[in-house]
Structure 1
């Protein structure tokens, strides 16, 4: 249920002006031509679990799915787009309290409770917010987009307390590029639904919708080839459609050689990694599978295992097969330049 927010301007939180805060706490408009994820959304809604974790690397349409879910909800929607400035427990609690107060007019004083002098985030403020959520008179869905922006352990401690206040009939749904710290504990109580890359990947029918929206005519065989090449990653399919539209009648290589693909990979993945990790990835790019012994042998040193753990955490287009610590280079848009198959688009 979007749009039933409390009247009045949002208060200033953490130095944000009201316009920025309104944008941060408002459900974004789904991109035109987005493929409906109604089946995934309905399955998660019907699961009766209080927490839903959507975890996958960049390009799998996590934010799009969340926005579609918000607009299909009949419960109150509390939306927060997280960023690095929220990586502080006091700021995080203030933002969450403000977001909830926007859809619950009776809790207008909640933010003041979070910011009272001498109130510790974990000791009192988080418990106060959890109590308010627990006693909500109507069901709601708390949606946190980009949870990976929270790196401080204190923020996740606070969030665990807040999650404890989510009542039955309400849900917390969070998207993240890396593992969500609260999920392992909730697995043991069967109180979490986990959606990953396999759940978000599009099939050939979804790919066909994307190409049709781009006004690109393709055969079923070519659609199947591009879908396999991109592993159903929505961003890869949108890029493939854009490449095909600009190069009619030519073969389209969905690989790092294309500037669209290269720009996307750099912006969404490589540029966010430490300089030494970037160098490690460039030097090991000749390998199809990365494991510590292979990397150490190639680079002539040690430290490969630690680098692999660093890379695995943000899901940087690398796939850990069967939950092992070896990593396979994703065969989709992360393929090294010149190493990708070519799908001719006619």
Structure 2
């Protein structure tokens, strides 16, 4: 790591401290290297040498250095060759401006070099990804267990600017087998653990923890939803899912609900839009029953792995995280579709994902092969629904 440099007899100048988290900052500092200004042929030779995994004689390297070459008196040193005047052809060929060499008396060998870019973080995805739009978005995640924590990480990775995390529970040892958080956070509130981890990994995302219950703190949820663009609910309880969907619809916000069904055999994502022709969660389930299917909601009240001995939780952590990532994608796609980005339209409003397929389940839950995905349309509200009919 270069932390300071000088040119000839000029004073030593620091290179800045943007890499304070790099592991090399814990090493000893000292004048251990040289830098030389060269033409593009020298750095082309570096490309050729590192491609072959071989070096070449020190005498040849010396001939390429116009001024200032220093012969290794004992041992070796690192040399940087700086070629600021690359031709357009050289740039197109991806010849680097800076190359690194390990210089000994017997020969020089190319060394991999990593240069910190001027622009860091999610901004580097621009203009290929609508970073400017997502950085302005505020997403509330209700439930930060295995699915919710994965969804929160994926939302931050997509570039969402603010995440509100709602969950009253603490991270316990038995959660670790499926949760994204590490053992060092056991005992902390899940929302606090995720704030530490996400902001360390994705500093472009601001995380605001709310260690509250979405049901008993419904008034605080109503206030929070006023500044929220969209809600992602990954809670595994029937009451919290229905409450979140109700509050979101009354606030005029889209809610994306994510869970697993049949003890982890299926992943499900529902997008609930507050539109007159789109029913709420209860209306959707009623429609399924009327069509001869089933309402899988009651089984969600059992915590993971606490079903009967014949129906244990079958989803592993990667399955649950896959559901969380799909939920995050649905959330981001909804935000971007509303912003007028057409390539982020989803094929439906209700997604089913086969994790451990159960073909004997009634339609539409009868997926037959792992990773099979089925999309379904929205269904209209039921007459008299207290959520869908505004009073």
Higher strand share: 2
Q: Compare relative contact order (CA 8 Å, sep 6+) and give the higher one, 1 or 2.
A: 1
Relative to the length of structure 2, the TM-score reads 0.25
Query: Greater CA radius of gyration, 1 or 2?
Result: 2
Higher helix share: 1
